[in-house]
A and B are shown apart, each in its own frame.
Chain A
Amino acid sequence: MVVSSEPARLLIVDDNKINRMILSRTLEQQNHIVETANDGKEGLEKIRTGSFDLVLLDIEMPEMNGFEVLEACLKDVELRQIPIIMTSAMDELDAVVKCVELGAEDYLTKPVNPILLRARVNASLEKKRLRDEIGRASCRERV
């Protein structure tokens, strides 16, 4: 179980090294455990095997783009529980809208503001925690 003040397992999927460095550093400063993937294909493999609490997913990437990774996650019963925050440049807002309509948790525009990043990650983790609690309570009621 994850609350905003507890360390969470986060995955950053971005083909841009500088973006990965900045996002990792900002989130590690909050004591989160951060892994990275350099493209969409590697990202999806890690999402499938890594038990992450949240994913930060770039849209414009080689191999698989962020939209394709998001679609693959949303089709999977287990993976669709993981909140995905899309990251994109200011001029890719049409693509962001498409991702949010499809089911992405939230989005951040790059260059990412560290305060906004922390706020959105923590809010998403808190929402996930509440969803998980409700899920567990429903299971107990059924038993």
Chain B
Amino acid sequence: MTIIDINTFNSLKESTDADFIKELIHTFLEDAPNQIEQMKNALDKKDAESFTRAAHTVKSNAATFGATELASLARELESLGRENNLEIGNKLQVMEEAFYQVKNQLEELK
């Protein structure tokens, strides 16, 4: 699976101007670590609702930028959270690693 689906990213880019894309990427890269942190805290507190909400946001934003693998990993965690199943093994760590790959690629693309 590619880190960033370039067709999705280009569609987003074509729909607006370069400065706005930079602003969007900046917002995503700034907010996503907070959402990952929220997921970690929610796991500690066994707060499935908060966990699910943060995963939902990561999924939605990843899909916006064409980060298909990250979106897919976040979707899986969102589904588990919705089922109140927080026995997620290393899936959050895998998602976090995927986010940092996305971050590197978006920084090159902006």
Chain A residues proximal to chain B, CB less than 8 Å: 15-19, 21-22, 25-26, 60, 62, 89-91, 110-111, 113-114
* 15 residue pairs A–B, Cβ–Cβ below 8 Å: A15-B57, A18-B27, A18-B64, A21-B20, A21-B23, A21-B27, A22-B12, A22-B16, A22-B64, A25-B20, A26-B16, A90-B63, A110-B60, A111-B64, A114-B16
Bound complex: CA A110 to CA B66 (Å): 12
- CB-contacts of B62-105 with A (<8 A): 63-64, 75
Query: A62 contacts B53, CB within 8 Å?
Result: yes
**A21-B23, A60-B56 known; A16-B61 Cβ under 8 A:** yes
From B15, B27, B59, residue with most partner A Cβ within 10 Å = B15
Q: How many residues of B contact A (CB 8 A)?
A: 20
**Chain A, interface SS category:** helix
- Which 8 interchain pairs have the tightest Cβ spacing? A114-B15, A111-B64, A18-B61, A111-B63, A16-B60, A16-B57, A60-B56, A18-B27
Query: B15 contacts A110, CB within 8 Å?
Result: no
Query: A17 contacts B27, CB within 8 Å?
Result: yes
Query: A21 contacts B60, CB within 8 Å?
Result: no
